[in-house]
Amino acid sequence: TVRDAPYGALQRVLVDEFQDTDPVQGEILERLTGEAFPSGRLFLVGDAKQSIYRFRGARPEIFEEFRARFPESGRLSLTENFRSVPGILDFVNALFADTFEDPDAALVPVVGPVPDHDQPVVEFLWATESEGAAKSSNSSAHDRRELEARWLARRLRQRLDAGWMVRDRQAREVRRAHPGDVAFLFRAMTDVGPYESALVEEGFDYHVLGGSAFYAQQEVHDLINVLSVIEDPLDAVALAGTLRSPFFCLSDDGLYWLSTARHDLVEGLQDADAIAQLSERDRRHACRARDLLSQWRGLKDRVAIAALVDRVLDESGYEAALLGEFLGDRKRANARKLVRLARQFDQQGGFTLAAFVARLRADLKRPPREEQAATTDEQGTSVRLMSIHQAKGLEFPIVVIPDLNRKPAADLGAVAFDPTLGPLVRRGKDRAAEPGTSATGDDTADAGSRESLGWLAYQALERHHDEREALRLFYVATTRARDALILSAGLGPSEQPKSPAMCLLEGRFDRQTGRCLASLPEGWRPPIIHVTRDVLDPAPSPSPSSGRTRTRGGRIPLFEVAEAIDRSPVAGVVTAPAAPRRPGIVDLDPAWGLAPTSARLDRLVRAILAESRAWNPRALARAATQAARWHDPLAPTSRVDEAIACLKPWIGGRIGQDVAGSEATERGVAWTITWPPDAVDSTVFRGVADLVTKDRQGELQVLLFSIAGASESRERLRLLLSARAAESLGLGRVRRGWRIRLGPGRGLSGEECFDAAAIDAAVRETLDTPSA
């Protein structure tokens, strides 16, 4: 080990970012260097003011303890700042002068101010309601953020349009700023939505780094919907979302008629050719959706998941549709990112599309920290939104620190361990039965009598540490700015600050004028700060036509959308529909018309039948469990047991013995037949023969399995066409066909006549019975 290495093997030890060290790391480092660490063997670099990883165990006290053990000659303060202009450093020095215990911590600018730019580089923006509007003190935190976000977006638009000058590091010259120079730095990423909406309203492209923004994007929802439909054709909700999305662009009227003209949306899509109420446009889109979905469904178990997603994007034209939308490049990049996620899923091996869809659905409910795909680099043109932690070590020409009055989270949980106080347990919150507890739920009056002294001490220590780290976060955020810094909050003039950052700001500066209130050491320049009190334009004059005006960013207000809907004629019911046309394609899926639960049972049964070992009665349960794991990972145990109960009587009987003893058994034989074969208006039928095998006499037979509720006419047609298809596929001439009914009312029926007349009759019966 490193510890056991000879003393001379480690001549020097260098540790960067030492302020983020936890106690275990500190002890390891001390053991590595031994007693000689103050004599030049150990070299540490860090800044205790930038210790912001307490949630990972980092303790800035460790930095201070190690620093104090070094001799005075071994300590060097790095105060020269090569990033920020003097105006920003003047503000940072004045703001934090009394916060950190380091008298030599004043930052010294190395670069000069932006040439020919005499405006203040630090700006306060306090968003408040206009005169006559509701008092901001009565509004919710979300309302305040929405107002603040609108102010910020409007202010950015004003400054950028007026010619905001920044330094270009690469070109070494001053240039006009663009949106890509702006970075919003957040204390937490849980309330970014209002700022995104406000930026869009002003026509800004933006990019959210970190958080769970990826799974909140509509294009991601669209792709998850289409993959869900490919995996489960009976998922009507996902199908509706897929048809209405840019994948297939079906209108609301078209979606309505597909859902109501037949038994359900799934059946309506399959029979879209024959639904007279559909417009020609919707009919084309519906038929295209039906054909593509069926085509992709046929590939799902034959190609890698990433290859399937890639093919879906290529063949659907979805990416081209996204590029025509606002933030089109970003949306297309998000869609392509899903291909990369699928490729990573493929690399784990052994997973099906069903498992991938289940994973995506779970991520929708509890989004992981997955950021949107990047479409811009450091020199891009989109506003960046990120957490302060992500911005650590970076710099941006223009930094905006919004939501400055946000209070830090204070949930300590119920159990804790403190190195000094030891293990601690918080008393339960349900104290209704305790004497002296207020019925109103006010537990502040006698909190001391409800919690142990140890917990109260721990609570006070944690509050102190949280407040100190909040100030260090504030320091890190302010020092990311290169040429301009904006601090903002939804805070009225008479409202009291709540967050540690706002309390510090309130104590050092006059919020309304920007004047520094603190006494500064001799030689320090007082910072110059601009305070923005009003950025929202007055209400526009109503136009003669509509009485209202569109927003500046190009977004259509909801009232205009509502008025457009009111004025739009609704496609009426066709009172005398034309004679229904013969459908171009019919999918004889045995799960057609079944309830979702029954349909999933049907697919599970068919997956079990495809397992060769399932025909051994002793191995049936194991084969069923394996099939469920592969084809329906979320199937409950009760569904697997039900499938086993349906199959067991047949697998253990004569039919099962014939199948088990046959050396020539084909399972899941997919076929496509055009009928009538030579007619101009013929229909393409698709289906699957569950088993094609030989009986004890060596004659070929077809076996179909149907669960209770399956359509009699469709299943009989599937049996007749399966026999016909077996011969055309070169399997031989079928002598007999059996349809086996599983579950309640189980039974067996056979067919021996597979001629054209029998098939014609079965086709007519199936196509002429809408509810068949």
At residue 557, the pLDDT reads 53
Instruction: Report the relative pairing of strands 422-425 and 415-418 from DSSP bridges.
Output: antiparallel
665 and 681 share a domain? Answer: yes
Predicted TM-score (pTM) above 0.85: no
126 and 230 share a domain? Answer: no
Q: How far apart (Å, rounded) are the C-alpha atoms in residues 539 and 557?
A: 14
pLDDT band for 274, please (50, 70, 90 cuts): confident
185 and 312 share a domain? Answer: no
Q: What angle do CA 579, 580, 586 make, to 5 degrees?
A: 160
Close Cβ partners of 734 (under 8 Å, ≥ 6 residues apart) = 692, 700, 701, 702, 723, 726, 727, 754
At residue 479, the pLDDT reads 94
228 and 361 share a domain? Answer: yes
> Is 569 domain-assigned?
no
> Is 524 domain-assigned?
yes
At residue 90, the pLDDT reads 94
Domain carrying residue 25: 7-74
Contact 248, 285 (CB under 8 A): yes
pLDDT at 698 over 90: no
What's 496's DSSP letter?
P
Q: How many domains does the chain have?
A: 5
At residue 1, the pLDDT reads 55
Q: How far apart (Å, rounded) are the C-alpha atoms in residues 238 and 226?
A: 7
Q: What angle do CA 507, 512, 516 make, to 5 degrees?
A: 45
Burial of 109-141, coded b for 16+ CB within 10 Å and e otherwise, reads beeeebeebeebbbbbbbbbbeeeeeebeebee
pLDDT at 441 over 50: no
Average pLDDT over residues 6-23: 80
Close Cβ partners of 544 (under 8 Å, ≥ 6 residues apart) = none
Residue 553 half-sphere exposure toward CB, CA atoms < 13 A = 19
Strand ordering across the sheet containing 481-489 = 206-208, 383-387, 182-186, 396-401, 481-489, 122-126, 529-532
Average pLDDT over residues 462-479: 91
pLDDT at 155 over 90: yes
CA-closest candidate to residue 597, choices 635, 623, 626:
635
Q: How far apart (Å, rounded) are the C-alpha atoms in residues 269 and 283?
A: 9
How much of the chain, in percent, has pLDDT values that exceed 70?
A: 82
Three-state secondary-structure class, residue 675: strand
pLDDT at 123 over 80: yes
Contact 408, 502 (CB under 8 A): no
- Per the listing, tokens 């009394």 go with 98
pLDDT at 122 over 60: yes
Average pLDDT over residues 407-433: 73
pLDDT tens digits along 713-745? 888 999 999 998 888 888 888 888 989 988 877
608 and 755 share a domain? Answer: yes
Report the 10 Å Cβ neighbour count for 521: 10
Stated as kind and residue range, the H or E segment containing 355 is: helix 353-365
CA-closest candidate to residue 603, choices 348, 148, 233:
233
Average pLDDT, whole number, for the chain?
Answer: 81
> Is 224 domain-assigned?
yes
| DSSP per-residue string spanning 506-568 | HHHB-TTT--B-SPPPTTPPPP-EEEE---SPPPPPPPTTTSS---TTSPPPHHHHHHHHHHS
Last residue of a domain, one of 501, 516, 532: 532
What's 758's DSSP letter?
H
> Is 623 domain-assigned?
yes
Last residue of a domain, one of 74, 102, 122: 74
At residue 654, the pLDDT reads 80
Q: Which residue has the higher pLDDT, 561 or 538?
A: 561
Q: Which of 24-28, 509-513, 661-665 has the lowest mean pLDDT?
A: 661-665
Q: Which residue has the higher pLDDT, 376 or 696?
A: 696
Contact 727, 618 (CB under 8 A): no
Close Cβ partners of 39 (under 8 Å, ≥ 6 residues apart) = none
Contact 723, 702 (CB under 8 A): yes
426 and 487 share a domain? Answer: no
**305-316 helix and 353-365 helix, angle to the nearest 10 degrees:** 80
Report the 10 Å Cβ neighbour count for 367: 15
pLDDT tens digits along 575-594? 445 555 667 778 888 888 78
At residue 631, the pLDDT reads 76
618 and 645 share a domain? Answer: yes
Contact 608, 623 (CB under 8 A): yes
Contact 504, 98 (CB under 8 A): no
pLDDT band for 368, please (50, 70, 90 cuts): low
CA 468, 471, 475, 481 torsion-angle sign = positive
Q: How far apart (Å, rounded) are the C-alpha atoms in residues 707 and 705?
A: 7
At residue 635, the pLDDT reads 79
Q: Which two tokens stand for residue 2?
A: 């490193």
- Per the listing, tokens 């119920």 go with 414
> Is 92 domain-assigned?
yes
Stated as kind and residue range, the H or E segment containing 622 is: helix 620-631
Average pLDDT over residues 194-206: 87
Task: Give the C-alpha distances (Å, rounded to integers) separating 244 from 51, 263, 361, 530, 536.
Answer: 49, 19, 19, 49, 37
pLDDT at 536 over 70: no
230 and 349 share a domain? Answer: yes
What's 56's DSSP letter?
G
121 and 156 share a domain? Answer: yes
At residue 440, the pLDDT reads 40
Three-state secondary-structure class, residue 476: helix
At residue 707, the pLDDT reads 86
37 and 144 share a domain? Answer: no
At residue 181, the pLDDT reads 94
pLDDT band for 117, please (50, 70, 90 cuts): confident
pLDDT band for 137, please (50, 70, 90 cuts): low
CA-closest candidate to residue 465, choices 525, 541, 409:
409
Average pLDDT over residues 38-51: 83
285 and 185 share a domain? Answer: no
pLDDT at 201 over 60: yes
> Is 579 domain-assigned?
no
Q: How far apart (Å, rounded) are the C-alpha atoms in residues 396 and 390?
A: 13
Average pLDDT over residues 416-420: 82
Report the 10 Å Cβ neighbour count for 447: 11
Q: Which residue has the higher pLDDT, 612 or 545?
A: 612
Contact 99, 93 (CB under 8 A): no
> Is 558 domain-assigned?
no
The gap from C-alpha 674 to its chain's centroid, in whole angstroms, comes to 44
CATH of the domain at 638: 3.90.320
pLDDT at 413 over 80: no
Beta bridge partners of 369: none
Average pLDDT over residues 175-186: 93
Beta bridge partners of 532: 125
pLDDT band for 210, please (50, 70, 90 cuts): low
How much of the chain, in percent, has pLDDT values that exceed 90?
A: 20
pLDDT at 618 over 60: yes
CA-closest candidate to residue 766, choices 707, 685, 669:
685
Report the 10 Å Cβ neighbour count for 80: 9
pLDDT at 553 over 50: no
> Is 327 domain-assigned?
yes
At residue 8, the pLDDT reads 58
Q: Which residue has the higher pLDDT, 62 or 440?
A: 62
Q: Residue 25, exposed/middle/buried by CB under 10 A (0-12, 13-18, 19+)?
A: middle
At residue 437, the pLDDT reads 42
CATH of the domain at 496: 3.40.50.300
319 and 426 share a domain? Answer: no
pLDDT tens digits along 650-680? 888 887 877 877 777 888 888 888 888 776 6
CATH of the domain at 326: 1.10.486.10
Q: Residue 603, exposed/middle/buried by CB under 10 A (0-12, 13-18, 19+)?
A: buried
Q: Which of 238-247, 418-427, 515-524, 531-540 has the lowest mean pLDDT?
A: 531-540
